């Protein structure tokens, strides 16, 4: 059991060595894009909600 555990962690270390980690600049740029997209989608969905709420109110009156 101990040998299997040691082998597992050696393989994990070998796989992590193959990973290409993003730079700080790439991570920051990607985060900015995500925030901008979230804001745009939120504004769109908020506008749809307002329009549909007014439409439903006008139909039900």
Question: Which residues touch 22 (CB under 8 Å, ≥6 apart)?
Answer: 30
Residue 18: predicted pLDDT? 95
Longest dimension (CA), the chain: 75
pLDDT tens figures, 28-58:
999 999 999 999 999 999 999 999 999 999 9
Q: Among candidates 21, 22, 20, which has minimal Cα distance to 31? A: 22
pTM strictly above 0.95: no
Query: With contact defined as beta carbons under 8 Å apart, do 57 and 49 qualify?
Result: no
Task: Check whether 9 has a pLDDT greater than 90.
Answer: yes
- Token pair 């993003």 in the structure block, residue: 22
């Amino acid at each position: 059991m101990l040998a299997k555990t040691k082998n597992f962690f050696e393989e994990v270390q070998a796989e992590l060595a193959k990973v290409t980690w993003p730079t700080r600049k790439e991570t920051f740029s990607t985060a900015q894009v995500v925030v901008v997209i979230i804001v745009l989608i939120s504004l769109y969905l908020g506008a749809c909600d307002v329009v549909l709420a007014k439409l439903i109110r006008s139909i039900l009156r």
